[in-house]
Amino acid sequence: MREHYRRETSWAPHDVHHELRDARLVATGYHRDAILWRAEAEQHEPSTPRRATADADVTAAEHLAARYDARVEHLEVIAAARDHWHRDTEYLRTRHLLAGQELARRGLATEPAADLGEQTALFDIAEPTEVDATNPAATRSGQRAPSLTSRATQQSRPPSPPPAPHSTTSPHPPSRPTPTKAPCSRHRRDQPT
């Protein structure tokens, strides 16, 4: 029941009632400005710079009023479709809400767990955990490649000393650190070539 209503909401027209209200207010404001500015423009003498500026302001206000009137008409169509969808899905919405209340009453999860794909671990970016100075075949993911020495020999060796820190008195700056994360292929597509 709940999944059926979720599918219906994916097809629902956008709720534009707030945007429609705002567009109506802006259009009304521009109409009002055009009327007032026209009255002010008529007080100036024709073919003067002030009259030309006032006429340009009136033309701009009328243009913006026309644009917002067209926007209002467009949003009214979307709002009517949303209202029609809302009436048509009333039964499903009621069943969705009642089923959610029943699941909550029983102490069950009201939202289903997200289905994970079979191989989602392939998309995780592995970060290195440590660098093994004794094993040059250490991989970037922090896992060590198999070594030719036996495990007992490796365990009997004393731990290797940590690498020496960079000296601040060196005339040359330290080399650039290697990145800790490999870039994902989808990030490379977004970069310009």
Q: Which residue has the higher pLDDT, 114 or 141?
A: 114
Q: Which residue has the higher pLDDT, 65 or 131?
A: 65
The answer to whether 30 touches 72, Cβ cutoff 8 Å, is no
Structure confidence at residue 161 (pLDDT): 62
Of 25-29, 71-75, 124-128, 171-175, which gets the smallest average pLDDT?
Answer: 171-175
Q: Which residue has the higher pLDDT, 150 or 68?
A: 68
The answer on pLDDT for 79 being more than 90 is yes
Query: How confident is the model over 94-119, as a mean pLDDT?
Result: 79
Structure confidence at residue 9 (pLDDT): 83
> What values do phi and psi take at 107, rounded to 5?
80, 20
Give pLDDT tens digits for 16-58.
999 999 999 999 999 999 999 999 999 999 889 999 999 999 9
pLDDT band at 107 (very low <50, low <70, confident <90, very high): confident
Q: pLDDT > 90: what percent of the chain? A: 37
Hey, what's the torsion of the CAs at 142, 148, 150, 154, to 10 degrees? -50
> Residue 2: which of 80, 79, 122, 111 has the closest Cα?
111
